[in-house]
Amino acid sequence: MQLMRLGPVGAERPVVRLNETTYVDVSDVITDYDEAFFASGMPSLRDLVAERTASGAIHTFAGERIGAPIARPHQILCIGLNYSDHAAETGQAVPDEPILFTKSPNTLVGPHDDVRIPRGATKTDWEVELGIVIGRRTSYLDSVDEARDAIAGFVLVNDVSERAFQMERSGQWSKGKSAETFNPAGPWLATPDEFDDVMALAMWLDVNGVKRQRGTTATMIFDPWFVVHHLSQFMVLEPGDLINTGTPPGVGMGFKPQVWLAPGDVMELGIDGLGVQRQAVIGPR
């Protein structure tokens, strides 16, 4: 299934995407794609969609705003330097275990919402990433295989980063990751059964029509199941939590000379099976 949320900011309603043009509205039965929904295991959603599709209760996309496919999560966790070719472009060693940092949950926005450069920023960067959404309360998983049952689905995210805050302002990376609008997500969450192989998905990102990132999840160092198992040894993962799993090469920081975002720029990005995003970059408040 492909789960989406449509509507104005703060008033999104849950729907299920059928194809490029149509969807089934489930907002009369499901309050939101939130912690309670994912904790329920989504037991009746597939049957509900099948019934409504068979009865013709299908709607056509008509230019309505697309929100992030999940409600604000309990936490957004991020894995740094998780692609071997990205580590190489930044001149850093491949990590022995996942590097963990966090983003503020209120960075989450829709896939086509504007990205705002924060005050004082000088080195704002882009990062196309595969996101994991947790499907059940998870702690101390016994094996990597067990992590498969803890994943509700996958989502396209843009882990927007302010490198000066991240690298030059001391302390933890979160300073450069947590500005408002810094985590566009969507357009949909795809359940795991939508993929033959999550570790073979092409990824790309362009800025102003210029090719910047090209990669594949095949070069991910720690796969999604390893990441979930690993994190469960250190913290409790809640249903609806989002994990950003790292980015392939082509970030602005990796170019010589380095390239940074500016107001008026447009980012477009996508991952196979997870759709396409488009964000305009705007200036500080």
So what's the pLDDT on residue 42? Answer: 80
Q: Are 124 and 95 in contact (CB under 8 A)?
A: no
So what's the pLDDT on residue 167? Answer: 82
So what's the pLDDT on residue 19? Answer: 97
> What average pLDDT is seen over the chain?
95
Q: What is the pLDDT of residues 79-120, one digit of tens each?
A: 998 998 777 777 777 889 999 999 999 999 999 999 999 999
Q: Tell me the β-bridge partners of 183.
A: 108
So what's the pLDDT on residue 31? Answer: 95
Question: What domains lie within the chain, and their CATH numbers?
Answer: 2-66 (no CATH), 68-282 (3.90.850.10)
So what's the pLDDT on residue 204? Answer: 98
Residue of 137, 117, 136 whose CA lies nearest to 125? 117
Which secondary structure element, helix H or strand E, spans residue 164, and what is its range?
Answer: helix 163-168
pTM: 0.96
* Contacts for 50 with CB less than 8 Å, ≥ 6 apart: none
The residue-averaged pLDDT of 168-178 equals 86
Q: What is the pLDDT of residues 10-53, one digit of tens each?
A: 999 999 999 999 999 999 999 999 999 999 988 789 999 999 99
The residue-averaged pLDDT of 194-222 equals 97
Under the banding of pLDDT at 50, 70 and 90, the label for residue 186 is: very high
Q: Which residue's structure tokens are 């996942």? A: 98
Please determine, for residue 65, whether its predicted confidence score (pLDDT) is greater than 90. Answer: yes
Give the SS3 label for residue 179: coil
